[in-house]
Amino acid sequence: MTQETTKRAYIHTWGCQMNEHKSEGIAGVLTEEGYELIDSMDEADVVVYNTCMVREKAVDKLLSHTGLVAKLKKKRPEVLLGIGGCVAQALKGELSERTNQTVDFIFGSSQIGEVPRLIREAKMRTNQRAVMAMERIPDKLEDLPFLSFSPFQGKITITEGCSNFCSFCIVPYTTGLLRSRLPGSILSEAAQFVEKKFQEVQLLGQNVDSYGNDLKDSDINFANLLKAFTEIDLPRVRFISSHPQDMTDDVVKVMGEDNNICEHIHVAVQSGSDRMLENMRRGYTKERFLSLMRDMKENVEEVSVTTDVIVGYPGETEEDFEQTVDLMQQARFDGAFIFKYSPRPGTISYLKYEDDVPFETKQARLEKLLVMQKQISEEQNEATIGKTYEVLVEKMARDQVRLLGKTRPNKTVLFPGNPSLIGKLVNVKINDADMGGLYGEVIV
Ligand code: SF4
């Protein structure tokens, strides 16, 4: 039987940088409660699954993982399982039944601060029903003791929720409407990273360009927030994600100036067909997107632009799809995440449109775009050969021999070097490249 004094917690995260950051919040509250964080579930007293519903089969993946915890509980019945994030938010109490009562506590995306209370209540309950925190007042991000998983790269959430209601997206339903933090609160969080001499901070929001839209003060907007970050003593500032409808010329202008804002924009285009874009409720046309793309390339030297694309959205004809092909050929993204459409219960698309593009057609379209994008990514990467870039060394590469780092435009670079360089900025000359990244050597 595990001793009360050796409380250990294991956290598993699915999804994007924002969810990763939520897990840093969960890690922070658990550490304050005296938990030691561990990398393997087997020794844990509390297992927390922080879920995401953006990708396909999120529920299936979660359920197969809860099977592992069920097995662990057979050996150690005192182990507690908590499920948080989007799936928890969408399924709520239903999760008890879907996990065969394996889950002990369930919490929403903005109820991280409730986790210690839930653990206490779960331990004391007299039946198998999971305890829940869903409808309470959302966490005040300022009050959460985020524990940065990296000692040199920090994350700051600037907005929570989203009010765009793109027809395919579950986010506004699971995380609520847009809520922007006040600039002072964001900047004081940044000051803590400066004090700890972090190399990089990433600003996070479902749609960072909508920052401030809910605060009804025209001076509070994303371009001004970025400008404030240029005054801060941090070598690098990144942000994710951008939205073509809300991105302003002022944001592009700040990025184009000589400052600490990194030259990478992740901006989801989703489709090149105006008809699809309208049905998706995206708020822009193909032409508007391409013009934004031209602005970014003209104003921000060596900018790298990555995107998300959905194929097989309801009603997508061959002609609609060819518009996406054409857009991707013109835009020449540095990278693209390409997905087959799959309906999410509760979204506008789910209610309004039949999922009528056959699976084989979706698959063929996906493969066509993947092949095309691989070629473009390779060409974009090859254009860096012979140049020297500032690289932030993040970790050992998977081969455990070379180092892995990122350029300011967020390109992955592999190169030989001493592990003592991890966490430092070095200059790397690029000797080779392929679609996956760049290869080089440190220049002293
Ligand atoms: S902008 Fe659209 S796709 Fe992005 S989070 Fe909001 S609703 Fe979802």
Q: Are residues 150 and 293 in the same domain?
A: yes
- How far is 405 from 367, CA to CA, in rounded Å? 29
Q: 208 in ligand 1 pocket by Cβ < 6 Å? A: no
Q: Are residues 190 and 305 in the same domain?
A: yes
Q: Residue 129 — φ and ψ, nearest 5°?
A: -70, 135
Contacts of 279 (CB under 8 A, 6+ apart): 167, 313, 314, 315, 349, 353
Is residue 326 situated within a structural domain?
yes
Is residue 3 situated within a structural domain?
no
Q: Tell me the three state secondary structure of residue 200.
A: strand
Range of the domain at 424: 388-443
Q: Are residues 129 and 238 in the same domain?
A: no
Domain end among 380, 409, 424: 380
Half-sphere exposure (Cβ direction) of 273: Cα atoms closer than 13 Å: 18
Q: Are residues 366 and 399 in the same domain?
A: no
Is residue 316 situated within a structural domain?
yes
Domain count, the chain: 3
pLDDT score recorded for residue 3: 46
For residue 162, what is the DSSP state? -
Q: 164 in ligand 1 pocket by Cβ < 6 Å? A: yes
Q: Are residues 290 and 415 in the same domain?
A: no
Is residue 82 situated within a structural domain?
yes
Scan for tokens 């050969």, then name that residue: 385
Q: Are residues 258 and 392 in the same domain?
A: no
∠ CA 263-255-324, rounded to 5°: 65
Q: Are residues 64 and 158 in the same domain?
A: no
Is residue 2 situated within a structural domain?
no
Domain end among 133, 153, 182: 133
Q: Are residues 190 and 109 in the same domain?
A: no
Question: Going residue by residue through the chain (444 aa), what tens digit of pLDDT does each one get?
Answer: 444 566 999 999 998 888 899 999 999 999 999 999 999 999 999 999 999 876 667 788 898 999 999 999 999 999 999 999 888 888 888 899 999 899 999 998 888 999 999 999 999 998 888 998 876 667 777 778 899 999 999 999 999 889 999 999 988 888 889 999 999 999 999 999 999 999 999 999 999 999 999 998 999 999 999 999 999 999 999 999 999 999 999 999 999 999 999 999 999 999 999 999 999 999 999 999 999 999 999 999 999 999 999 999 999 999 999 999 999 999 999 999 999 999 988 899 999 999 999 999 999 999 999 999 999 999 999 999 999 999 999 999 999 999 999 999 999 999 999 999 999 999 999 999 999 999 999 998
Number of Cβ atoms within 10 Å of the Cβ of 148: 18
- How far is 307 from 286, CA to CA, in rounded Å? 14
Residues 403 and 421: beta-carbon distance below 8 Å: yes
Torsion of CA 385, 368, 169, 252, to 10 degrees: 30
Q: 172 in ligand 1 pocket by Cβ < 6 Å? A: yes
Is residue 365 situated within a structural domain?
yes
Q: 384 in ligand 1 pocket by Cβ < 6 Å? A: no
From 157, 169, 175, mutation site for ligand 1 pocket: most ligand atoms within 8 A of C-beta? 169
CATH number, domain with residue 402: 2.40.50.140
Domain end among 380, 404, 420: 380
Is residue 1 situated within a structural domain?
no
β-bridge pairing 179-180 and 159-160: antiparallel
Half-sphere exposure (Cβ direction) of 102: Cα atoms closer than 13 Å: 22
CATH number, domain with residue 214: 3.80.30.20
Is residue 200 situated within a structural domain?
yes
Closest-CA residue, ligand 1 atom 4, reads 206
Q: Are residues 330 and 233 in the same domain?
A: yes
- How far is 389 from 62, CA to CA, in rounded Å? 40
- How far is 187 from 224, CA to CA, in rounded Å? 12
Q: 206 in ligand 1 pocket by Cβ < 6 Å? A: yes
- How far is 47 from 37, CA to CA, in rounded Å? 10
Half-sphere exposure (Cβ direction) of 399: Cα atoms closer than 13 Å: 8
User: Among 174, 264, 250, which Cα is nearest to 212's?
Assistant: 250
Q: Are residues 67 and 22 in the same domain?
A: yes
CATH number, domain with residue 68: 3.40.50.12160
Q: Are residues 269 and 323 in the same domain?
A: yes
Q: Are residues 250 and 339 in the same domain?
A: yes
Q: 205 in ligand 1 pocket by Cβ < 6 Å? A: no
